[in-house]
Amino acid sequence: MKYEYASDLQTRMEEIAKFLEMDHIAVDRVKCFRSSGSSTKRTIARCHTIGKLMQKAIGVKAHYAIEFLERFERLSREEQDKVIIHELMHIPKTFGGGFRQHDYVCDRNVNELHKKFIRERTI
């Protein structure tokens, strides 16, 4: 696996978090990366974090990394925005190193937030 910091996706992620008023997300502690070399066939993106015990062990606050796999690049801009929203939705309100599960992070909720993003961005 190869990872490369994605400044363009970082900017898009920050814009989406701002327009969707995801104020619980400390965007300075969320970093976006492109990855290549994965053997997975279905995964488009994934969110990573440092567990709470490791945070305490090394004395840091929670940080998240959003990894965008090669398939992401083949999506339309709209679908890419939905993927970014999906990954941001996994970050809980506590921003403590946990994840929100797919009972909340589902197509219906992603589509609802995407519609809000389109509305807010055009105002």
Point out the least confidently predicted range of 10-14, 26-30, 75-79, 101-105.
101-105
Question: Which 3 state secondary structure label does DSSP give 36?
Answer: strand
pLDDT of residue 28: 97
Say how far apart CA 86 and CA 46 lie, in whole Å: 9
pTM for the whole structure: 0.94
- Give bridge partners of residue 32 from the DSSP assignment: 66
Say how far apart CA 94 and CA 76 lie, in whole Å: 31
37-47 pLDDT, tens digit each = 998 989 999 99
64: DSSP letter: E
**pLDDT (mean) for 75-100:** 96
All domains of the chain, ordered by start, with CATH?
2-122 (3.30.2010)
